[in-house]
Structure 1
Amino acid sequence: MTTETLHWTAVCAASDILPDTGVCALVEGVHVAIFHVAQARQFFAIDNIDPKAQASVLSRGLVGSLGDRIVVASPLYKNHFDLRNGECLESPEHSVRAHAVRVQEGRVQVALA
């Protein structure tokens, strides 16, 4: 699937997400965490529901890196989720989906995986 055939949903202004923080948005009924990562000069989107806690909290986690991986640490159980692919580094069975994200005309847009 190309970026032209994805269904994009505008979420917020890019300037609304401070560097190295995340926000939560409801995209087509799915809780999505969107992060602005300063070191990568990029935005990332993953499911916001922590699979272990079943709580919508990943957008409030700490953004950082482990080796060459850009991650967010869950604020509840401290599991690390790779922002590129949603993999849970400590427990791969708790991985989440990663979603396509882009910025167009200053607006962050998400397309569900």
Structure 2
Amino acid sequence: MTALREDLETTCWTPVCSYTDLLPERGACALVDGRQVALFRTFDGVLYAIGNHDPFSGAQVLSRGIVGTRTGEPCVASPMHKQVFSLVTGVCLDDPAVSVPTYPVRVAADGAVEVGAG
């Protein structure tokens, strides 16, 4: 078993909403284990979860950013100063020295979106 699989099996999952509540290419914010998490559903149905805190402005706004792609990588542009963050890695594509946390996200059998924390 890989380390990633072991980590996911021991992850504490928090249900946050229904999959159908997340509109494609629109963000939503959820409080998970005391942290604001920005959730995104892309047009192809893939879910992503990153920290909602914009490290450049200090505001909790990434869930309100513009979702798109840069060189094929799904990303979100902060609504404050427009820095772009990868939804896959959390790395700022404009300044790779800066990043936001990423969180595992899944859809449960009942259709609930769950975010991993812990």
Structure 1 length as normaliser, TM-score?
Answer: 0.94
Residue segments in structure 1 that go unaligned for 5+ positions in a row: none
- Match for residue 43 of structure 1? 47
CA RMSD of aligned residues (A): 1.1
Letter in 2 for 1:13: S
- Match for residue 25 of structure 1? 30
Q: CA deviation at 1:2?
A: 3.4
Q: What percentage of residue pairs aligned between the two structures are identical? A: 45
| Rounded Cα–Cα distance in structure 2 between residues aligned with 1:29 and 1:93 | 25
Structure with higher Rg: it is: 2
Higher strand share: 1
Q: CA deviation at 1:59?
A: 0.2
Q: How many pairs does the alignment contain?
A: 112
1:34 aligned to 2:53? Answer: no
Letter in 2 for 1:93: A
Letter in 2 for 1:25: A
**Partner SS for 2:94:** coil
Residue segments in structure 2 that go unaligned for 5+ positions in a row: 1-5
Structure 2 length as normaliser, TM-score?
Answer: 0.90
| Rounded Cα–Cα distance in structure 1 between residues aligned with 2:105 and 2:58 | 23
Runs of 4+ in 1 over 4 A off after TM superposition: none
